[in-house]
Chain A
Amino acid sequence: NAGVTQTPKFRVLKTGQSMTLLCAQDMNHEYMYWYRQDPGMGLRLIHYSVGEGTTAKGEVPDGYNVSRLKKQNFLLGLESAAPSQTSVYFCASRYTYRDGNTEAFFGQGTRLTVV
């Protein structure tokens, strides 16, 4: 079982470059989330999606775009990278069972450095 897979695991960008982070889940989950983790600030929600074709803004959406064209994939894009976007990015997917039980599953993270 792959679970939640993020690619790439590491990346160094120059200021102004663009890139896309891919999150893939094989659990048929409806909800998917992108977070960034910075020292002393915990995880902050960038964007999330409640299903294929839908996206919504989180706490810190500026400078990022997302797409959910397929249920299993949630893409995070940086159109023009800035040093302030240096961070560790985590993707998560979430499932809610019929009895109301719910659990989120996290990827291993992508360490992005913008120089």
Chain B
Amino acid sequence: AQSVTQLDSQVPVFEEAPVELRCNYSSSVSVYLFWYVQYPNQGLQLLLKYLSGSTLVKGINGFEAEFNKSQTSFHLRKPSVHISDTAEYFCAVSALNTGGFKTIFGAGTRLFVKA
């Protein structure tokens, strides 16, 4: 079985400050890891993903995340946030189960960027 924990339900931050949204996962098999963003009343948009190779992955809108296998973490970072980054962010883990690839999401982190 796999699980995902997003450690912060809400993160307030001032514009142009750096931000880190934390994600930990557990799985007994190899995983693929994803971060999605959801703007109000919209669906989910892929920010970035880790499949294999380099542990530092870069995504859209200036976001990046680092896969840490020993700490089973996949934290999302941005060096300087904008007001437009205000949204809810979801970490997801995908792993092969007996029924096929199952993708599980964390509970989400709401990022508030203040002027």
By a beta-carbon cutoff of 8 Å, the part of chain A in contact with chain B is 31, 33, 35, 40-45, 48, 50, 54, 56-59, 90, 92, 94, 96, 100-104, 106-109
| Interface SS of A by simple majority | strand
Chain A residues with CB under 8 Å of B103's CB are: 33, 45, 92, 94, 104
Q: Bin chain B's interface residue count.
A: 20 to 34
Q: Is there contact, CB below 8 Å, between B100 and A56? A: yes
Q: Which 7 A-B pairs have the closest CB atoms?
A: A56-B99, A50-B100, A43-B105, A42-B107, A106-B43, A106-B44, A42-B105
B98-111 near A? 1/0 per residue, CB < 8 Å: 01111111111000
Q: Is there contact, CB below 8 Å, between B102 and A41? A: no
CA distance A101 to B50 in the complex (A): 9
Min Cβ gap A10→B in Å is 11
Q: Is there contact, CB below 8 Å, between B99 and A48? A: yes
Min Cβ gap A98→B in Å is 13
CA distance A33 to B9 in the complex (A): 25
Min Cβ gap B76→A in Å is 15
Min Cβ gap B99→A in Å is 3
* Residue contacts A-B, CB under 8 angstroms, 13 given: A42-B108, A43-B90, A44-B105, A45-B103, A56-B100, A57-B99, A92-B44, A100-B52, A102-B32, A102-B94, A104-B34, A104-B46, A104-B103
By a beta-carbon cutoff of 8 Å, the part of chain B in contact with chain A is 6, 9, 32, 34, 42-46, 49, 51-52, 90, 92, 94, 97, 99-108
Q: Beyond A102-B32, A109-B42: 5 further Cβ-contacts under 8 Å?
A: A42-B107, A44-B105, A102-B94, A103-B46, A106-B44
